[in-house]
Amino acid sequence: DSGVTQTPKHLITATGQRVTLRCSPRSGDLSVYWYQQSLDQGLQFLIQYYNGEERAKGNILERFSAQQFPDLHSELNLSSLELGDSALYFCASSVAGQVSNTGELFFGEGSRLTVL
């Protein structure tokens, strides 16, 4: 158990809909990272938050947004869903804000999104 909690574990929805994925980081970790894993794109970095502020941005679509709340949990919002958004969405956490300083990331078990 990594200590990172993601909900829901599975989600099935229709094209055009909006969903919210939730992540609670390990106790004491200030950084939260979101990754998307799909068969054709592999594991793609989406966005990082550190102590409530956006720290780094990756290949995140404009239809997607995220935030980190004062209690450090994070939400990833996916809107106007398309079939191609079907994927595993992972949240990871670390203590520090710079990955180069912090070393390893601790991953949750992921939220599997299926868009029909």
Residues in the chain: 116
Per CB under 8 A, 56 contacts other proteins: yes
- 61 lies in the site for other proteins, by CB under 8 A: no
Q: What is the DSSP string of 27-88?
A: TT--EEEEEEEETTTEEEEEEEEETTEEEEE-S--TTEEEEE-TTS-EEEEE-S--GGG-EE
| CB nearer other proteins, residue 52 or residue 107 | 107
48 binds other proteins (CB under 8 A): yes
Residues that bind other proteins (CB under 8 A): 2, 4, 33, 35, 42-43, 45, 48, 56-59, 88, 90, 92, 98-100, 103-110, 112
